[in-house]
A and B are shown apart, each in its own frame.
Chain A
Amino acid sequence: MFDQLRAFHRPTSVATALRLSESERRAGGRGTFVAGGTDVVVAGDRSLRWIVDLTKLPLRYVKRRGRGLAIGATSTFADLEASAAVRRLADGIVAEAAGTAGSRQIRAMGTAGGNLANASPAADLAPPFLALDAAVVIAGGGGGGGGRRTVPLDAFFRGPNRTVLNGGLLVEIVIPPATAPRGGRAAWSFQKLGRLESDIAVVSAAAGVAVDAGGRCTWARLALGAVGPTPLRARRAEALLVGKPFDRAAAEAAAARAAEEAKPVTDVRGTAAYRREMSRVLVARALAECLERMGRTR
């Protein structure tokens, strides 16, 4: 299928990966980074002339970073599912989402960095990472130099399969420590609707909510997948929750607002109207689960 491919590079350092990709770009041929291959090979772009493989880079790790976590870009979905630190993180929503990203073989191949860099609006890991205020570390790109920049995930996506990478390499996903106010609680939930859970999402949603000791919402994140050109945060719905008692009524109102913020399209997996309605349902379920996890269902 890739019969035009004339170079397959297997660098062992990020610096070399960037140097190789930059010199290939200067030479003019089309090419790409690849890790698990679950997007690049399926896309089957026959015009590719070069590939820089990332699977030998030392980027397959999950590390504590202060009270938060740092996830190396080539960690696979299966790695995230198996990581005790990821399973403990935020009620396990990242591990849970990773476990829905296709069959076991796909999860053993596909990587966290690839899932984000491919920028599918339905990327399974995007909503949970958005709900966790994750950021991505990008090495290089934007016309040379090996400098690193950290970009909040909600400023990373630019459209379907478009990001701010600009030739740079996504090397790490950084998750700040979860914060709950003193005496309060925080809870998270991930929801996904597909024909089967392992299918590409028709709609997916992740929620994170913190409340103070009196049950008043101090912080909220609502993220939706597959209902817009990028994974998105429903900021008006988040704002609706903050400062008010977090209860069923607040959850239902926020879910309705989130559905208004969705920008779904019609495709083979669902109509725009269905996706909008399911956005409401999934956000409502996610917030209900947060309430349940906080042990203050009212």
Chain B
Amino acid sequence: MPRRTTHRAGGAKNAAGSGRASHGAVNDLVIHVKVNGEARRWTTAPGDLLLDVLRREGYWGVKRGCESGECGACAVLVDGEPVNSCLMFAAQADGRSLTTVEGVADRERLDVVQEAFLDHGAVQCGYCTPAMVLVTRALLARSPHPSEAEVRETLGGVFCRCTGYKKPVEAVLAAAKAGGGERSRPAARRAARAGKGARR
């Protein structure tokens, strides 16, 4: 049975701006988010973290690692900015646009960054790869032609315990060369998508 909810977190209908449920033990929050371009309505508990909700909802590309903001395996993009989803309350995602690795490829066509990771063999066990792809896309969106130092600084926020940073660094530099920055810009992507017709 679906749990009843009284207020959505931060909802305009709630004058107090409060996400608190008004009766009994019913403390659930309904939040509205866009995940990979698709609107989602989630019923969450006030203490739920975004990582837990994303995985519960089937976005398994979001990996559970240290759960203390150190390793970056759980990184997702929130309105284009990379965040560690283990440190963000799900309620704070209400009204925002999330991107997980599931939303990076355009159906069968991989993103420039993903292609570069494949071409360069920049994957070992693969656990950190989704987060590496996402933080790379955020980097290229704000800095389309990053220096190697910038690339290293960015990838340093995602721990690879296979310790294979050399190939990912090469892959990111190659993706930048291949125009990954242009393609990572949300507006450019939207325009490209509109030109190709609607996605599912």
Contacts and interface: CB of A to CB of B under 8 A. Distances in A.
Answer yes or no: are A and B bound together in one complex. yes
Interface of A: 1-13, 16, 20, 34, 36-38, 41-42, 48, 50-51, 53, 55-56, 78, 102-106, 108-109, 196, 198
Contact of B10 (A13, A56, A78): A56
Contacts of A4: 47
B135 A105 contact: yes
29 contacts: A4-B47, A5-B46, A9-B16, A9-B18, A10-B9, A10-B17, A10-B19, A10-B94, A11-B16, A12-B10, A13-B17, A16-B16, A20-B18, A37-B88, A37-B89, A37-B92, A38-B87, A41-B69, A41-B88, A42-B87, A53-B91, A56-B10, A103-B72, A104-B138, A105-B84, A108-B82, A109-B83, A109-B87, A196-B156
Contact of B47 (A3, A13, A36): A3
B87 A37 contact: yes
B82 to A, nearest CB: 5
Contact of B49 (A1, A20, A109): A1
B58 to A, nearest CB: 21
Nearest to B17: A11
B190 to A, nearest CB: 22
B17 A105 contact: no
Contact of B89 (A6, A34, A38, A102): A34
Given A9-B16, A10-B9, A48-B47, 5 more contacts: A8-B46, A12-B17, A41-B49, A42-B87, A53-B89
Contact of A103 (B19, B27, B29, B156): B156
A190 to B, nearest CB: 17
A9 B67 CA distance: 23
Interface string B152-171: 01101110000000000000
Nearest to B90: A8
Contacts, number: 120
Given A53-B91, A104-B82, A9 B19 contact: yes
B72 A7 contact: no
A5 B49 CA distance: 12
Interface in B134-158: 135, 138-139, 153-154, 156-158
B173 to A, nearest CB: 17
A109 B16 contact: no
B17 A2 contact: no
Contacts of A13: 17
B161 to A, nearest CB: 15
B47 A16 contact: no
Contacts of A20: 16-18
A53 B29 CA distance: 14
Interface string B58-97: 0000000001110010010000011110111101101000
B34 interface: no
A106 B84 contact: yes
B53 to A, nearest CB: 13
A106 B86 CA distance: 11
B123 interface: no
Contacts of B154: 104
B20 interface: yes
Contacts of B49: 1-2, 41
Contacts of A42: 68-69, 87
B35 interface: no
B89 A109 contact: no
B174 interface: no
A7 B157 contact: no
A20 B92 CA distance: 17
Given A1-B47, A3-B45, A56 B17 contact: yes
B17 A8 contact: no
A8 B84 contact: no
Contacts of B86: 41
B84 A78 contact: no
Contacts of B138: 104
A42 B46 CA distance: 17
Contact of B83 (A11, A16, A105): A105
Of all A-B residue pairs in the complex, the 8 with the closest CB atoms, nearest first, are A103-B157, A2-B47, A5-B47, A10-B10, A8-B46, A7-B20, A11-B17, A37-B87
A7 B10 contact: no
Contacts of A12: 10, 17
A34 B68 CA distance: 16
A76 to B, nearest CB: 8
A8 B47 contact: yes
Given A37-B89, A41-B86, A8 B156 contact: no
